[in-house]
């Protein structure tokens, strides 16, 4: 090759100003896209944080003493007087049901038809509370009792469903929320990843996790912390159902929709079911319709059934258990639908 030819080739290999500008424009466009993607991600994550805040704070700020079911029992003249006094002093705070006997009013509390009762008998007025129904109610009823004591009649207090001495605030029930949610969700993700092509193994694994996890959690609460004392096996069964309902629902959504299904499951369980569950306060403390809605979701139903089993000897336990079973069946149905869709 001649010197002239080599020189010509070298000049040809050198980038021209037009080529350089085009490359710079491409790099700038790529960088702009990356920054736009980053901005979108920041905006999206910030929106998620705001939604998290709203989902947890809104039910708390819109909760309180409104239409709380209260039983009043005793002679008609006295119950009418008490009812009228409460309605005048605290309008809309209570949804009062009158009973002709004190026993019927107490039964209403023990059957979870009322958060408490006011009974009138020969010994005066008795404020009947059930601490295990939720932490706010005994405080409110004590305030009612202090007001009634100003009438000159003796006022007594009795707790027909007390919490244990080791957990006087009932915090153990509230503490179950995150283990049940994350235990169920993480198990669903792990099972769907390890046994990606076998829906049967995923379902069997979810049931196994629910059984073992529920047994361990219940044992810790009963024998480790002393949070519960009565009805170990029924309460354990409810915890198992709660974990299974959450795990199988997320598993089913993932089976049908893939990664999007896990996201939907997380939103449903963390940002909807959790704040509306009423685990610490009881469902009646959340204003309608939020409290009612929460009881049709796995966590709220599990919390109510756990209270009923551990402290109320199973009273009013049938409805929340039915809700949990329905979620379990729905989760298995979604997994089956996902398997059928894959085979098509």
For the chain, percent of residues with pLDDT exceeding 70: 88
The residue with greater pLDDT, 213 or 51, is: 213
* 340's tokens: 């059928």
* 139's tokens: 């405080």
CATH architecture of 68-159: 3-Layer(aba) Sandwich (3.40)
Its pTM stands at 0.84
Q: Do 216 and 193 contact (CB within 8 A), yes or no?
A: no
Q: Do 113 and 71 contact (CB within 8 A), yes or no?
A: yes
pLDDT at 14 exceeding the cut of 90: no
* 106's tokens: 């107490």
pLDDT of residue 320: 97
Residue range 153-172: mean pLDDT, rounded:
93
Largest CA distance in the chain: 126
CA angle 180, 243, 311 (to 5 degrees): 80
Rounded Cα distance, 313 and 304, in Å: 12
pLDDT of residue 50: 76
**Comparing C-alpha atoms, which of 130, 138, 75 is closest to residue 107?**
130
Question: What residue ranges of the chain are covered by domains with CATH 3.40.190?
Answer: 68-159
Residue range 206-223: mean pLDDT, rounded:
96
**52: Cα within 13 Å, side-chain hemisphere:** 8
**Comparing C-alpha atoms, which of 298, 288, 290, 291 is closest to residue 320?**
298
Which of 66-75, 137-146, 320-329 has the highest mean predicted lDDT (pLDDT)? 320-329
What burial letters (b/e) apply to 136-175, b meaning 16+ CB within 10 Å?
bbbebbeebbeebeeeeeebeeeebbebbeebeebebbbb
Task: Label the pairing between strands 155-159 and 68-73.
Answer: unpaired
**DSSP-assigned letters across all residues of 61-91:** HTBSSSSEEEEEES-HHHHHHHHHHHHHHST
pLDDT at 58 exceeding the cut of 90: no
pLDDT at 1 exceeding the cut of 50: no
**281: Cα within 13 Å, side-chain hemisphere:** 22
Q: Do 202 and 195 contact (CB within 8 A), yes or no?
A: yes
pLDDT at 150 exceeding the cut of 90: no
């Amino acid at each position: 090759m001649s010197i002239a030819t080599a020189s010509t080739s070298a000049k040809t290999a050198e980038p021209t100003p037009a080529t350089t500008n085009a490359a710079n424009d491409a790099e700038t466009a790529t960088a702009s896209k990356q920054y736009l993607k980053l901005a979108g991600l920041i905006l999206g994550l910030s929106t998620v944080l705001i939604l998290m805040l709203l989902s947890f704070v809104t039910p708390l700020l819109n909760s309180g003493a409104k239409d709380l079911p209260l039983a009043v029992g005793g002679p008609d003249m006295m119950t009418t007087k008490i009812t009228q006094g409460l309605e005048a002093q605290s309008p809309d705070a209570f949804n009062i049901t009158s009973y002709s006997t004190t026993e019927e009013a107490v039964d209403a509390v023990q059957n979870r038809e009322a958060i408490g009762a006011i009974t009138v008998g020969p010994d005066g007025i008795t404020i009947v509370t059930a601490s295990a129904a939720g932490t706010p109610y005994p405080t409110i009823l004590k305030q009612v009792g202090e007001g009634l004591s100003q009438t000159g009649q003796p006022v007594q207090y009795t707790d027909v469903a007390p919490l244990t001495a080791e957990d006087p605030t009932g915090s153990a029930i509230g503490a179950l929320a995150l283990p049940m949610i994350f235990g169920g969700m993480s198990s669903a993700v792990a099972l769907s990843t390890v046994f990606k092509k076998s829906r049967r193994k995923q379902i069997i694994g979810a049931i196994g996790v629910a059984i073992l996890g529920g047994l361990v959690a219940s044992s810790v609460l009963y024998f480790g912390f002393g949070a519960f004392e009565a009805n170990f096996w029924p309460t354990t069964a409810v915890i198992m159902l709660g974990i299974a309902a959450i795990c199988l629902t997320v598993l089913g959504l993932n089976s049908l929709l893939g990664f999007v299904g896990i996201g939907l499951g997380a939103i449903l369980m963390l940002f909807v079911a959790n704040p509306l569950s009423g685990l610490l306060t009881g469902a009646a403390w959340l204003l309608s319709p939020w409290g009612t809605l929460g009881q049709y979701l796995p966590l709220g139903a599990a919390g109510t059934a756990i209270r009923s089993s551990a402290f109320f000897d199973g009273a009013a336990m049938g409805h929340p258990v039915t809700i949990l079973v329905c979620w379990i069946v729905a989760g298995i149905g979604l997994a089956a639908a996902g398997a059928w869709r894959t085979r098509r």
